Structure 1
Amino acid sequence: MPAIPYPQKRGKRTLIAIIIVIAAVCAVVLALHLQPWKPAPSGPPVPAIPAPVVPTVTEPTIIVAASDSSAASKAGADYICDGIDDQYEIQAAIDALPARGGTVQLTEGTFKCSGNILPGSYTTLKGQGDESTHLIFTDNGLIWMKSDSIALEGFRATGSGYSGKSAHRGVIYITASHMWIKDVTATADRSIQAVFYVQSIEGYTRDIEYIAFIGCVADSPGTYGFLHSSQDTDNTVHRYVQYTDCRAIDCGRHSRFNNWVTGFDFAELNDIESLRVTRCIAEGNWESGFHLEWAPNKNDVVFTDCISRNNGRKPYPDYYDTSGEYYFGAGYYAPKGSYTFNNCTAEANSAYGFFFSYPDGVYLYDCTDFETGRGKTDYSQVKPTSFFIVQSLLTNANPSIVMENCESIESFGYGLHIALMDHVQINNFRLTDPAGIDGKGAVVGGSPRGALFVDSSIDIHATGDRVSTLVYAMGNRNVIYSGQINSNAAHPFVIDGYGTSNVRVQNMQMLPVGSAGITLTQDVPEGAVTIVKS
């Protein structure tokens, strides 16, 4: 007779199995919760940059209580505010710190400030968190960080009603070096130029360096979320700047300081060197999500694991030309400079996912654009494009731009547009079902003005049937194409003339079997294109 399992032992084994399963599920859930980003990119390691020299002396700690703080908080405070001109009590606490520095600790509650707070060097101004400590600024009040080595942490700030010179500052206004701003959420109405503003100004006699924003949020302001600029000074460089886990949400969407409000603007009138932007989000902003102006110098700028979505809420203009400043509407607007993008995502931005003009050594690894142009309907002026790349013929970089393992998914216009470019290296670019412009899903060269795409290589893997031509190439010289095109389009891959010469198509698989394959127009000179069947 077979043995009968002993009930208690069977129960213990079952219980152990259940515990193991629960533990495994919890581990998976925790991993997903802590790491919502895509896998690590395949690009080279990002060089570290120096961190700010922030206050290390935390004592003495002077406590300032709000008028609506608890009785217990007031009992332990050194200063107690009355809800009117609370900046005076906060400033008195700052001024009471010794020269070596210390901490001014704000309790829970609301501090109503009608003037400036000026932290001194080696001062930490710290709240109880952005849901507990709230500073409300009126009558041109703001936090002006004009001395080196200051830290802000753990509060919420709101500003409104600015005029005069204060209207061209920020609620958190930085004009010196070695700043550490952590877990600060802030907003403002349309009367001030920015929420978080780093500006080089007259009187500070050197470049601004070593600025770190960590976990900061610009929350639905009527102005720029994070802004860098300069005025009335020759010291225009901002160097060693870090943004980590920061967000710019709905900046300028409902009201705006001007018609060009962006989420992050890292180079308005200043030069920028050694900028690191990591795990930051720009969403719902009036103009671009992440933005740098054309004129400043921009070197060693690195974006890693960033997300830019639903930006460019501004209506399309009646007239548009990329040679003028009529509209940006980009997830990432990065002209004239050297940049690296690792594992960055753009989604549903109105005009461009990634915009590059005059690229001077740009590298993209594992970057993806989803549905650029979604939410707009009239594309007669602005042509939405996932990856827009122009004008390296006027720079000296070789390579001018490198793209590895990048993808355009269901663009409402072009998936890829390249013109006036040389020394381009694109490997494993995936073009997925673009809606296209004028029947074309991707344009490389694309103008009857001579050779507009030269000395380059493209490995492209394209699918989709919404356009008559998935890949259109014109004016190519010394260019190699490879990859795979899978489409029932009328002409999946078209090579046109006007300057076309020494184009080689090799290891290019055309699917399905029997598709129209590669089309050479009558304007292609004889012998200008060589097709090597895989």
Structure 2
Amino acid sequence: MRCRWVVTIFVVFLIALIPVPTVADTGGTPGYGHVFPAPDPLDPIDVPDPFPASLPERIQTRLFPATAVPQPTFAPVNENRVCVAASDSVLTPPNGTQLYVCDGVDDEREINDAIVAARGGIVELLDGTFRCSDRITLQASTTLRGQGSANTTIQIKAKPGSTGYLPVSIGAPYVNVGGFTLRGNGFIMVTRSHVRVRDVHATSVDLDGNWCLAYGNGMFFVWVAPPVDVIDDVEFYACEAFNAHTHGFNMNQDYNDRVTRATTNIRFLDCRATGCGYGVAGDPGITDPTITSTNQSKSEWITGFDLHEWQDLVNCEVVNCVATDNWESGFHLEPGARYSNPPGPRTISKNIVFRNCISSNNGQRNTYADHFFMSGYYLSRDTHLQDCVSFNNRNCGYYVHGGANTSFEGCTDDGSTYGWKVCKASEEISIADCTCANNLRWALWLAFSRGIDVTGFRHTGVTSDRGFQSILGWYKNESAYQLPVTDSSFEITAVGNGMPIINEEGERNTYVLNREGTPTGDSVVAGFSATPFSGEAPLTVRFNDLSENATLRWWDLGDGNTSSERDPVHVYGAPGNYTIRLIAADNLRHDVVTRTDCISVEGPVTASFSATPTLVPVGAPVRFASTSGGNPHDLSWEFGDGGTSIEREPVHVYSTAGTFDVSLMASNTRYSDTRILPGLVKVFDVVTPSFTVDRTEGPAPLEVAFTDTSTGEPEHWLWDFGDGNTSVTQHPVHAYECPGNYTVTLTAGNAFFTNSTTLAEGVIVTAQAPSVTAVPGAESSPVRLGTDGLYDDVNGNGRSDFADVVLFFNQMAWIAENEPLEAFDFNGNGRIDFADVVSLFNRT
């Protein structure tokens, strides 16, 4: 085509050279108080709404602050300007400008040639449509700009048999891209630092209205992969992803080499993600015939803004952005797990800020009954929201999972199932001056968390569930996550619902709970009737709310089921006695009525029971408990020793030893059954060991006869005589060969019980007396009067006195010659001498 000058108004790019910023310090992995839990795919949510609700007037007319101010674009390294004309371009470049003209087939060739020719300058795409079949690759310091998203279109569609992974690839730094609409298989892919993307609209729908497969992980995709470890300073301004088969905006990293990577200083300003994700063929509920294996979304987890996955994320701003009608959540930041094998370290999350954003109608088209996310904002750590709005999101307005140091200020939710949900090891979460309205279940759903600070919180028209407008601690009866909220404070004002504001559970929590409104009419008085009260399973019971002045009610039907209907009809499938609880309320007050065992449901009786313990000594209690099925009303116990009971959990004491059969007969008005457990309880006597000895002292060798006097009918004995010898005879006789003091222990028992008794130093064995003869001048032979083996009575007159000293002195030489030394060596010096006379004198 001929070039001619036409005055045109181009999209103005402010180009200024700015210093290259340094990579932010990502620091170390922050600590967190609990083991990080994996996502739970079974959150309770409501039936999806396939038709997105209209935004309320207050949100439609909501004025954003002044347009967010973007960072300057990067200056070209030269003054080169190259233009590229589409086959249908009307505009022409200035005279002297290098021009590449496309023919509407493989137009990426001319565009890529122009980028090379610019050598770091500006490539200007004129108006019209560029039809491409392969990727467009940017070079360093290059600006690629069209005439605005309404005037310039790039359609990238893969040729048959070729890959559909066809990005506008920004794999070099200091690149500016913008001013066009991107259609088909194409997407913006950023793999280097220092990038500006402005006024780009991207969709999976081609110019003919056909939906194209998405191969990139986002229509705007920041991907940190080798050889790069950090992508820094990237900004998306006035960009929009719409009708997309993948995430609108996505940031992630390659972790195949197990190297942690980061995105830092990333900004999203005045961006939108609308209609991202339409399901995968084979998903439950997919009825759209256009969703097939060759034309489907990239996955069943598509979100509007998926900003934090496996990479570290440091310093991220999201300002004046809108996410609406996306398959899963509007804004999504993962809690931090790298699900590799083995799992990698938890990701770093620092200083993530949302200001003046709107997230609405997300998850409402999702065909899954119980998908996990489907929230306005799904968040985790060090994330701070200011003046953000959530509307009619299918699960939560704001969902904090495994979060820490996250705050909400001046945020609102309207119409989501839950306003705020905080759970699974979250801590230090602040919710200040926030509001919610018209939530389908709870304003606040908090569990397994600590340090939650709720101040100035106001909610209006919350439907309530489980009898409360907000709930603490409960988590679908899942033991891993149904843990209390502790060390937290709650300042809440409720409007338009008189149900209890919150269940005040958890340690070290404080509550300031207020209601706003003026009472009208008389107080609420809760009451109900039920028909019938009893019957055989399955039993259909009709409940009638007889409450006075109530406009709201909540029923706990006793079997885990609840209802908010006025007059619910419920079928009890299992026999049992069920306690019914009704909370009735108006817009400001409530009353509660509870009837214990109100409904009695019977079935065929199966008698069964337990006993603890079943092996006991005489006189010890045995606890029995009926575990009979069929809801029997009458019980008859026989304990085998003549004892009986009609209690449900009797305690019985057996007074004699033996083995006892136990039986239970259980019956209701229709059925009866008996269970007998033969030999269930074994009762034994308590053995108390004791014994006697025929002598406790004597010279070695000393023979002692032991007699067992134990009570309790022992069946076995073990004697320890203290000298290393033992016996298992009931009445043993034992000979001690050596002098010493011996402790004797008897262990006696039966088949069920063993006990011991000890006689400390109970047998004293002395040394054998040496052979002595009468000393000349004595009446008879010397005698030992003590136990030390010395013969104090030298003259044998039966006593120790001075006559013995005189005789010893006079016959000292004879004694030394004729008597055994050990019998008369009183001072123990090994000889007989005068010193022994002195010692004997002192002993008398």
Alignment TM-score, normalising by the size of structure 2: 0.47
- Aligned counterpart in structure 1 of residue 104 of structure 2, from 83, 87, 98: 83
Whether the aligned pair in 1 keeps the contact of 2:375 and 2:394 (CA below 8 Å) is yes
CA-CA distance at 1:74 after TM superposition: 9.8
Does residue 1:268 correspond to 2:298, yes or no? no
Whether the aligned pair in 2 keeps the contact of 1:229 and 1:269 (CA below 8 Å) is yes
Does residue 1:460 correspond to 2:460, yes or no? no
Higher relative contact order (CA 8 A, sep 6+): 1
Q: Quick one: distance in 1 between partners of 2:126 and 2:587?
A: 71
Partner SS for 1:208? strand
1:125 matched residue in structure 2: 144
Does residue 1:438 correspond to 2:466, yes or no? yes
1:298 matched residue in structure 2: 349
* Distance of aligned partners of 1:148 and 1:116 in 2 relative to their CA distance in 1, 3 Å threshold: same
* Distance of aligned partners of 1:173 and 1:512 in 2 relative to their CA distance in 1, 3 Å threshold: closer
1:404 matched residue in structure 2: 432
* Letter in structure 2 aligned against 1:263: G
CA-CA distance at 1:453 after TM superposition: 2.0
- Aligned counterpart in structure 1 of residue 63 of structure 2, from 37, 46, 70: 37
Partner SS for 1:202? coil
Does residue 1:138 correspond to 2:157, yes or no? yes
Whether the aligned pair in 2 keeps the contact of 1:102 and 1:122 (CA below 8 Å) is yes
Partner SS for 2:376? strand
CA-CA distance at 1:270 after TM superposition: 1.6
Deviations 1:109-145 (A, max 9, x none): 1111111111111000000001111111012332111
Q: Quick one: distance in 2 between partners of 1:424 and 1:224?
A: 31
Does residue 1:386 correspond to 2:424, yes or no? no
Q: Quick one: distance in 1 between partners of 2:514 and 2:59?
A: 36
Does residue 1:477 correspond to 2:507, yes or no? yes
1:62 matched residue in structure 2: 82
CA-CA distance at 1:54 after TM superposition: 2.6
Q: Quick one: distance in 1 between partners of 2:298 and 2:361?
A: 20
Identify the structure with the greater helix proportion: 1
* Distance of aligned partners of 1:317 and 1:252 in 2 relative to their CA distance in 1, 3 Å threshold: closer
* Letter in structure 1 aligned against 2:117: A
Alignment of structure 1 residues 326-337 onto 2, 5 Å: 326-335=371-380, 337=381
Does residue 1:171 correspond to 2:187, yes or no? yes
Whether the aligned pair in 2 keeps the contact of 1:446 and 1:474 (CA below 8 Å) is no
Whether the aligned pair in 2 keeps the contact of 1:142 and 1:159 (CA below 8 Å) is no
* Distance of aligned partners of 1:250 and 1:512 in 2 relative to their CA distance in 1, 3 Å threshold: closer
Does residue 1:312 correspond to 2:338, yes or no? no
* Distance of aligned partners of 1:361 and 1:519 in 2 relative to their CA distance in 1, 3 Å threshold: farther
* Letter in structure 2 aligned against 1:278: V
CA-CA distance at 1:478 after TM superposition: 1.6
* Letter in structure 2 aligned against 1:129: G
2:203 matched residue in structure 1: 187
* Distance of aligned partners of 1:120 and 1:187 in 2 relative to their CA distance in 1, 3 Å threshold: same
* Letter in structure 1 aligned against 2:392: A
Deviations 1:365-413 (A, max 9, x none): 00000000xxxxxxxxxxx211001134xx6x5xx11111101101111
Q: Quick one: distance in 1 between partners of 2:322 and 2:587?
A: 43
Deviations 1:2-27 (A, max 9, x none): xxxxxxxxxxxxxxxxxxxxxxxxxx
* Distance of aligned partners of 1:65 and 1:316 in 2 relative to their CA distance in 1, 3 Å threshold: closer
- Aligned counterpart in structure 1 of residue 225 of structure 2, from 201, 216, 230: 201
Structure 2 unmatched runs, 5+:
1-57, 159-163, 205-211, 280-295, 338-346, 527-551, 555-584, 597-844
Deviations 1:17-72 (A, max 9, x none): xxxxxxxxxxxxxxx999943679xxxxx9x9x95873355722111111111274
* Letter in structure 2 aligned against 1:221: A
Partner SS for 2:503? strand
Whether the aligned pair in 2 keeps the contact of 1:446 and 1:473 (CA below 8 Å) is no
CA-CA distance at 1:358 after TM superposition: 2.0
Deviations 1:284-305 (A, max 9, x none): 0011000012224322111000
Whether the aligned pair in 2 keeps the contact of 1:316 and 1:327 (CA below 8 Å) is no
CA-CA distance at 1:190 after TM superposition: 3.0
Q: Quick one: distance in 2 between partners of 1:517 and 1:300?
A: 46
Does residue 1:112 correspond to 2:137, yes or no? no
Partner SS for 1:111? strand
* Distance of aligned partners of 1:490 and 1:111 in 2 relative to their CA distance in 1, 3 Å threshold: farther
Does residue 1:155 correspond to 2:180, yes or no? yes
Whether the aligned pair in 2 keeps the contact of 1:52 and 1:212 (CA below 8 Å) is no
Does residue 1:94 correspond to 2:115, yes or no? yes
* Distance of aligned partners of 1:490 and 1:364 in 2 relative to their CA distance in 1, 3 Å threshold: farther
1:419 matched residue in structure 2: 447
Structure 1 unmatched runs, 5+:
1-31, 41-45, 161-169, 321-325, 373-383, 495-510, 523-534
Whether the aligned pair in 2 keeps the contact of 1:175 and 1:208 (CA below 8 Å) is yes
Q: Quick one: distance in 1 between partners of 2:503 and 2:315?
A: 36
* Distance of aligned partners of 1:513 and 1:406 in 2 relative to their CA distance in 1, 3 Å threshold: closer
* Letter in structure 1 aligned against 2:508: N
Q: Percent identity?
A: 28
1:29 matched residue in structure 2: none
Whether the aligned pair in 2 keeps the contact of 1:253 and 1:284 (CA below 8 Å) is no
Q: Quick one: distance in 2 between partners of 1:147 and 1:82?
A: 28
Cα-Cα RMSD: 3.4
Whether the aligned pair in 2 keeps the contact of 1:174 and 1:197 (CA below 8 Å) is yes
* Distance of aligned partners of 1:247 and 1:515 in 2 relative to their CA distance in 1, 3 Å threshold: closer
Q: Quick one: distance in 1 between partners of 2:326 and 2:459?
A: 27
Deviations 1:230-281 (A, max 9, x none): 1135252111000000000000137521111111100122221111000000
Deviations 1:153-195 (A, max 9, x none): 11111123xxxxxxxxx61111111110001111123332321
Q: Quick one: distance in 2 between partners of 1:214 and 1:38?
A: 15
* Distance of aligned partners of 1:78 and 1:424 in 2 relative to their CA distance in 1, 3 Å threshold: same
* Letter in structure 2 aligned against 1:453: V
Q: Quick one: distance in 1 between partners of 2:591 and 2:242?
A: 50
Whether the aligned pair in 2 keeps the contact of 1:184 and 1:215 (CA below 8 Å) is yes
Q: Quick one: distance in 2 between partners of 1:245 and 1:69?
A: 29
Does residue 1:346 correspond to 2:387, yes or no? no
Q: Quick one: distance in 2 between partners of 1:370 and 1:513?
A: 18
- Aligned counterpart in structure 1 of residue 242 of structure 2, from 211, 219, 222: 219
Partner SS for 2:115? helix
Whether the aligned pair in 2 keeps the contact of 1:442 and 1:472 (CA below 8 Å) is yes
Whether the aligned pair in 1 keeps the contact of 2:231 and 2:264 (CA below 8 Å) is yes
Q: Quick one: distance in 1 between partners of 2:301 and 2:587?
A: 49
- Aligned counterpart in structure 1 of residue 278 of structure 2, from 232, 237, 253: 253
Residue correspondences, number: 431
* Distance of aligned partners of 1:490 and 1:469 in 2 relative to their CA distance in 1, 3 Å threshold: farther
CA-CA distance at 1:85 after TM superposition: 1.0
Q: Quick one: distance in 1 between partners of 2:379 and 2:468?
A: 25
Deviations 1:337-358 (A, max 9, x none): 1110000000000001000022
Whether the aligned pair in 1 keeps the contact of 2:376 and 2:398 (CA below 8 Å) is yes
Q: Quick one: distance in 2 between partners of 1:58 and 1:132?
A: 27
CA-CA distance at 1:477 after TM superposition: 1.6
Partner SS for 2:112? helix
* Distance of aligned partners of 1:217 and 1:512 in 2 relative to their CA distance in 1, 3 Å threshold: closer
Alignment TM-score, normalising by the size of structure 1: 0.73
Q: Quick one: distance in 2 between partners of 1:159 and 1:316?
A: 25
* Letter in structure 2 aligned against 1:413: R
Q: Quick one: distance in 1 between partners of 2:62 and 2:429?
A: 28
Partner SS for 1:142? strand
Whether the aligned pair in 1 keeps the contact of 2:76 and 2:122 (CA below 8 Å) is no
Deviations 1:93-112 (A, max 9, x none): 111123xx210001001111
Higher alpha-carbon Rg: 2
Q: Quick one: distance in 1 between partners of 2:176 and 2:525?
A: 61
